[in-house]
Amino acid sequence: MPFLQKPYALFAAFLLIAGLVASPAHAASGNPAISLLKDVHKAVQITEGKGAKTLYIFFDPNCPYCHKLFEELRPYVKRDEVTVHWITVGILTSTSPGKAAAILQSKDRLKAFYQSEHDWNFGDTPGGGIAPLQNPSAKTRHELDINNGLLADHGLNGVPVTLFATTDGSAFYFEGTPPPDKLAEILQYVK
């Protein structure tokens, strides 16, 4: 039987073997990724790419694993194989909320996101290469609260979290960054 037709648990096992964390809540309560996928439209997102496969990635501007995932996705985005909806949160360090706010409050969020990623570790503080915004607007604080709240409301407290619908009609998320060879395999199952 092809891998796509095997049960959800087999896909979770594949991700665990790949060194990723598939939430234990998956097995305990069915599939909480379905709930997160239904709620993800509430998030303030930065979209790049025009591919048929869609990923939603929660990231913190200071997260080295998020930056690694950004780098690993470059070839897929450039070839228009994926559309990535980046959802910025500010949870890791003292400068994370300010950097996330700087991205969200920018007139061109995608440009600010790219600045943060392309200037990685070149700023005054380690991590994302964008200066933390000291006094974000009420609107920006609200947007960041929504994004942070989505993670917390679904029992997630680490980043990156990659969420997607699967080709068999289910939903899945994992925490962490897959090795490049495993990312290609995972993308085969992304709708």
- pLDDT for the residue 121: 83
Residue-averaged pLDDT of the chain: 86
What is the band of 123 on the pLDDT scale with cuts at 50, 70, 90?
low
Q: What is the pLDDT of residue 179?
A: 87
* pLDDT class of 15 with cuts at 50, 70, 90: low
**pLDDT over 60 (residue 153):** yes
- Kindly tell me if the per-residue pLDDT of 139 is higher than 60: yes
- What is the band of 23 on the pLDDT scale with cuts at 50, 70, 90? very low
pLDDT at position 20, please? 54
What's the token pair of residue 157?
């407290």
What phi and psi values does residue 152 have, to the nearest 5 degrees?
-60, -45
Q: How confident is the model at residue 181 (pLDDT cuts 50, 70, 90)?
A: confident
> How would residue 25 be classed by pLDDT, with cut points 50, 70 and 90?
very low
pLDDT band for 17, please (50, 70, 90 cuts). very low
State the Cα–Cα distance between residues 90 and 10, nearest whole angstrom: 33
Given a contact cutoff of 8 angstroms between Cβ atoms, the answer to whether 140 and 105 are in contact is yes
Structural domain spans, the chain: 3-186
Of the pLDDT bands very low, low, confident and very high (cuts 50, 70, 90), residue 16 is very low
Is residue 6 scored above 50 in pLDDT?
no
Where is average pLDDT lowest: 6-10, 47-51, 131-135?
6-10
How far from 129 is each of 13, 17, 63, 85, 101, CA to CA, in Å? 35, 33, 12, 20, 13
Q: How confident is the model at residue 21 (pLDDT cuts 50, 70, 90)?
A: very low
* CATH class assigned to 3-186: alpha beta
Percent of the chain predicted with pLDDT > 90 = 72
Whether 103 contacts 88, CB under 8 Å: yes
Task: Compute the distance between CA of residue 76 and CA of residue 29 in angstroms, rounded to an integer.
Answer: 33
Q: Of residues 127 and 58, which shows the higher confidence score? A: 58
Asked if residue 11 has pLDDT above 80, the reply is: no
Which pTM was predicted? 0.85
